[in-house]
Amino acid sequence: MKIFECDHCGQTVYFDNEVCVACGHRLGFDPDTIAIYALKPTDQVNWHKADDSERTFRFCANASFGVCNWLLPEGGAEEFCPCCRHNNLIPDTGTEAGLNRFRRIVAAERHLFYSLLRWGVYTPTRAEDPQGGLVFDFLEDKVDQSGYLQPAMTGHENGAISLRVAEADDVTREIARNQMNEPYRTLLGHFRHEVGHYIWDRLVRDGGRLDTFRAVFGDEREDYQAALQRHYDNGPPAGWQENFVSAYASTHPWEDFAESFAHALHIVDTLETARAFGLKVDDVEPEPLDDPYQCESGKRLADSWVPLTLAINAIHKSMGQKDFYPFVLSSAIITKLDFVFTLLNRQSGSKSPDRH
């Protein structure tokens, strides 16, 4: 994530900021230009740039809940921003617990969509593509007739992604993390993984790239349910770390791609953040990578990523914490990441202009 600045006073501001602490102006993120603007009210609904009254906007409807700071063009037909318009079922915003969960979920969702915007990935809604448009259902756990809790399931099917609302709570997510033996389990990680399945549908299956995919990840025509059951019965194969970025990635080529896609976003987003703060491991990393979103080489990104994670892991241990990044990038994994980066960067319009 890049660092932004208030276009009125020059104060450093961040992606989720709603008010500039220096000049006091309301802030909004414009997805069309990938920029944050200082705003002044035009009327009770509309806003304009603080230094340009001709640039007018209104906020996403979810701003009324205090969960979104994204902008829309004034007078447009859409009620929700390019992120929130994909939401179908949402938590109960009439309760404090539901609203807090929704706020955490949308914060992670907006972070995901920042990356998709940077790569220029087209994500039609169900209104635009009734059969395969991207849509999110945030599902609540249920209690069955016997009084047993039935956790909602996270998953993907033809562009419809379901996420368990309860995992917006840290305690619930930590319990699930331990039960599933997953060293990295976050809301943002869920979004990135499940959207990886959606990306596979659109850019691999429908994009005519099945042969090149199979050469790297294996044949996805393998029975998925049988592969899933084998994984839960027997665990990952011995030595899985040499070929897969996580144990779950070894389940099936679909899961391997989704996990690799999620890690591609982890890497690029974190490297961009490191660049924004001027972080670099001296005498280890090669020449600076100006914009990770423009890089198509998995090896080039790994050369920057590995030294950074080693340093941050050491810092975490100095604080008595677990590793920040408990994964190993083998040559086989880097080849898979290379496939993902090349796929994303060859999208029409994916070479994002320098829009500040």
Q: Is residue 152 part of a domain?
A: yes
Domain co-membership, 243 together with 290 = yes
The domain boundary, picked from 50, 81, 112, lies at: 81
Q: What is the pLDDT of residues 169-210, one digit of tens each?
A: 877 777 776 666 666 678 898 999 999 999 999 999 999 999
Domain co-membership, 170 together with 298 = no
Domains in the chain, number: 3
* pTM as predicted: 0.89
pLDDT at 349 over 70: no
Q: What is the extent of the structural domain holding 221?
A: 209-356
Q: Is residue 181 part of a domain?
A: yes
Domain co-membership, 217 together with 333 = yes
Q: Is residue 191 part of a domain?
A: no
Q: Is residue 203 part of a domain?
A: no
Q: What is the pLDDT of residues 70-106, one digit of tens each?
A: 999 988 889 999 999 999 999 999 999 999 999 999 9
Domain co-membership, 148 together with 32 = no
Q: 3-state SS of the chain? A: CCCEECCCCCCEECCCCCECCCCCCEEEEECCCCEEEEEEECCCCEEEECCEEEEEEEECHHHHHCCCCEEEECCCCCCCCCCHHHEEECCCCCCHHHHHHHHHHHHHHHHHHHHHHHHCCCCCCCCCCCCCCCEEEEECCEECCCCCEECCCCEEECCEEEEEHHHHCHHHHHHHHHHCCCCCCCHHHHHHHHHHHHHHHHHHHCCCCHHHHHHHHCCCCCCHHHHHHHHHHHCCCCCHHHCCCCCHHHCCHHHHHHHHHHHHHHHHHHHHHHHHCCCCCCCCCCCCCCCHHHCCCHHHHHHHHHHHHHHHHHHHHHCCCCCCCCCCCCHHHHHHHHHHHHHHHCCCCCCCCCCC
Domain co-membership, 356 together with 322 = yes
Domain co-membership, 228 together with 301 = yes
Q: Is residue 202 part of a domain?
A: no
